[in-house]
Amino acid sequence: MRSHKQSAARAAPLLPLLAKEVREILSGRSLWILLLLLCPLIGYSLFQAVLLYGESSSAALQSPALASSLSPFDGILVPTLGSFYVAVTLLFPFVAIRVLGQEKESGALRLLVQLPYHIPTLVIMKFAAVILAWLLASLPALSALVLWRVLGGHLSFVETSNLLLGHLLYGTLIGALALFAASIAESAATAAIIALAFTIGSWVLDFTIAGQPGLLAWLAKLSLTQTLRPFEQGLFSGGLVLGIVGVIGGFVALASVWLPPGVPPRQKMRRSLPCVMAIAAILGGATQVAWSVDVAEDRRNSFAAADQELLATLRLPLAINVRLAVEDPRYADLQRNVLSKLERAMPNVSVLLAGSRHYPATGSSGESYGEIEYSYGNRSDVSRSTSPREILPLIYNLAGVSQPPPKPGAEYPGYPLVTGANATLLWFFGALPLLIALCWWWIRRPRRFNRFLVHEGGPS
Amino acid sequence: MPPVSPYPLLRVDGLTKRYGGERAIDSATFSAFPGEILGIIGPNGAGKTTLLETIVGLVAADTGEILWRDKPLPASRRRNALFYLPDGVRPYQDQLTADVISFFAGVYQRSLAEIDATLSSFGLTPVLHKRVGALSKGYNRRLLLSLALLTPHELVLMDEPFDGFDLRQTREIIGVLRHHAGRGRTFVLAIHQLVDAERICDRFVLLAGGEVRGLGTLDELRAKASLPSGSLEEIFLALT
């Protein structure tokens, strides 16, 4: 027998550990049940989306003006993947919790923590298995995109990839959260309650306090549901990606702190503090990262190309003083149509929300309520409009430049398509579930072994 | 059998574990010598499992120290020196027996000959294709014992290693453990069946109410209990 000193001198290989985690995920029922449930969910969403898109397209085929408003990204991709988002929120935690919860319940964790791996290594391998599970779970959603292409639909590679990246980040965030929940809970059932409290609590946060002023607005921003929205708007936001990756890393680190048995809870809490502070610092840093890219094919997050080019040359600071309450719908319009686009187009924009504590009904802010003051260089002007058609000329006037002529050929053409969707039903309600069931059977099929077929660990 | 070496491999020194106001382990002190089989003997609730889990660091001790070859062994490094096989675990239920063996063999980089020897000694070959969840209690126990013996650790602690075995199987497993002890491995076994303990252990730690009430070979304990021909059962009743 080798001594423990000799065995410690050689690092334990990671492959057997990763293989074991993957086997644990694949041999369990939860992933396969999730896959089977995803088939009708995604299938029906795609079927409905193709029908509705077809109805809108039949009118648009007669009119090019209507056609330009038909985007497969909004009409097909977002609603189809929306059902995947619901399933990931409500069902994927059960799959992710299994990688740790099962071992806690069966007592295998007490064997696992004695293996020659650092605790973070154990957690990272489990997290890798969770990511693999998400990738497998995304196959029905990916097959929906393939079906759409087969039906003759259009997909923009960049905006589709960005949306899939958003779903990957959201799925891994849910997976990391579930892993953390499993590390602090004694049983898988308790872990599921903790994870669902986060995810469903996020929905509640989103529905009840979004659009409210002050602390409530800040709390609403912490909702998990906010993570997908920019991706569904065709926006790649550097700050958001940094924030999500930071939180994922934080949950994995916290799971490493809470996993080992034999450490008193007080000590675990002490060790958690730096992780929580690191997450807070990363989130704080992420809010300061304004860099983002409009990857939408219809450039919905940007002004017209000529305006974008001209605005990028305006180097002086543009100060915008908004006298509107944050819950005022006009502010939402202004934010969506003008402010967010200006912040990306111009190098130096600052927005001051001056009316956040005043509501027009009270009359407390007087006649100036609703005014938006734009100051560029030493000139300023006031407008009440929320439309870029009025505000851009105003800014050009302040900067002393003339409005650029529109660039020809830059308009989004739109992609109307009238097609039948019955093939999608055949795939999602017949072929795909059958394929999944076959794979499940194949993984769990009885196999014959003799002692020589057990894999050798390596040279002794 | 007397200890092979006069110097202890493992020393447990004043180990105490409290749950609330109750002392589950109260200043336990004893040593394990290289190549011996040391039995932790006690009835259910005596604190055997808590003692083993505190030794390996799965449960945090309140006071006391663990020494490895006379040097302190902090909890974070114990898994390099000790391997503990808990009682009542049924891990990896959905995995094939062969895959579980492969996993441990892969982690500890065991050779084919070592795997083969382990499978043979525990008679696991007929159930390699079965899922762990489908194994009988006896085969599940054999699998766990084989995992423990696939590790390279010099000292292995086992909680109720004979639980689930009939007389014949228990004698078989005793033979396997004896074989490994003969090759220099040390075992610390928590056993509540005194007959089994008497058959396999070289020395005994008698535990009752979390306290060590007796320590030594059967002859030493007989002398202490003034029962020159007493069985372990009689000695245990006399000393606890």
pLDDT at A157 over 70: yes
Q: Does A7 touch chain B (CB under 8 A)?
A: yes
Q: Does A409 touch chain B (CB under 8 A)?
A: no
Task: Report CB contact under 8 Å: B111, A458.
Answer: yes
Task: Report CB contact under 8 Å: A456, B112.
Answer: yes
Rg (alpha carbons) of chain A, rounded to whole number: 27
Residue B205 is given by DSSP the state E
Contacts of B203 (CB under 8 A, 6+ apart): B3, B36, B37, B38, B39, B215, B216, B217
The number of beta carbons lying within 10 Å of the beta carbon of residue B213 is: 18
In whole angstroms, give the CA distance from residue A23 to residue A9: 28
Facing B154 at nearest CB: one of A3, A110, A458 = A3
Which chain A residue is nearest to residue B124, measuring alpha carbons? Answer: A451
Q: How confident is the model at residue A245 (pLDDT cuts 50, 70, 90)?
A: very high
Q: How confident is the model at residue A459 (pLDDT cuts 50, 70, 90)?
A: very low
Task: Report CB contact under 8 Å: B128, A454.
Answer: yes
> How many CA atoms are closer than 13 Å to the CA of A310, on its beta-carbon side?
19
Q: Position of tokens 């779970």?
A: A137
Model ipTM over 0.85: yes
- Summarised one tens digit per residue, pLDDT across range B47-99 is 999 999 999 999 999 999 999 999 999 988 899 999 999 998 888 999 999 99
Task: Report CB contact under 8 Å: A23, B99.
Answer: yes
Residue B102: in which H helix or E strand, if any? helix B97-107
Q: Which residue has the higher pLDDT, A3 or B196?
A: B196
The number of beta carbons lying within 10 Å of the beta carbon of residue B2 is: 9
Facing B86 at nearest CB: one of A16, A107, A458 = A107
- Summarised one tens digit per residue, pLDDT across range A43-58 is 999 999 999 999 999 8
In whole angstroms, give the CA distance from residue A345 to residue A351: 14
Task: Report CB contact under 8 Å: A1, B152.
Answer: yes
pLDDT at A354 over 90: no
pLDDT at A210 over 80: no
Facing B153 at nearest CB: one of A4, A12, A448 = A4
pLDDT at residue A457 in the model: 52
Conformational region of residue A13, where left means phi above 0, alpha means psi within -120 to 50, and beta covers everything else: beta
Domain ranges of chain A: 14-295+421-444, 305-399
Rg (alpha carbons) of chain B, rounded to whole number: 18
pLDDT at residue A167 in the model: 97
CB burial of residue B210 (10 Å; 0-12, 13-18, 19+): buried
Class of domain A305-399: alpha beta
Task: Report CB contact under 8 Å: B152, A6.
Answer: yes
Angle between helices A432-444 and A15-27 (to 10 degrees): 120
Pick the closest to residue B65 from B18, B29, B24, B20 (CA basis): B29
Facing B108 at nearest CB: one of A450, A452, A457 = A457
Residue A64, min C-alpha distance to chain B (Å): 58
* pTM across the whole model: 0.88
What domains can you pick out in chain B, each with its CATH number? 10-89+154-239 (3.40.50.300)
Q: Which residue has the higher pLDDT, A320 or A62?
A: A320
Task: Report CB contact under 8 Å: B58, A262.
Answer: yes
Q: How confident is the model at residue A1 (pLDDT cuts 50, 70, 90)?
A: very low
Q: Which chain B residues are closer than 8 Å to A458 by Cβ? A: 106, 109-111
Average pLDDT, chain B: 91
Q: How confident is the model at residue A364 (pLDDT cuts 50, 70, 90)?
A: very low
Residue B131, min C-alpha distance to chain A (Å): 9
Interface test with A, best of B112, B127, B135 (most A CBs within 10 A): B112
Q: Please give the distance of CA A102 from its chain centroid, rounded to a whole number.
A: 27
CB burial of residue A306 (10 Å; 0-12, 13-18, 19+): middle
Which chain A residue is nearest to residue B134, measuring alpha carbons? Answer: A446
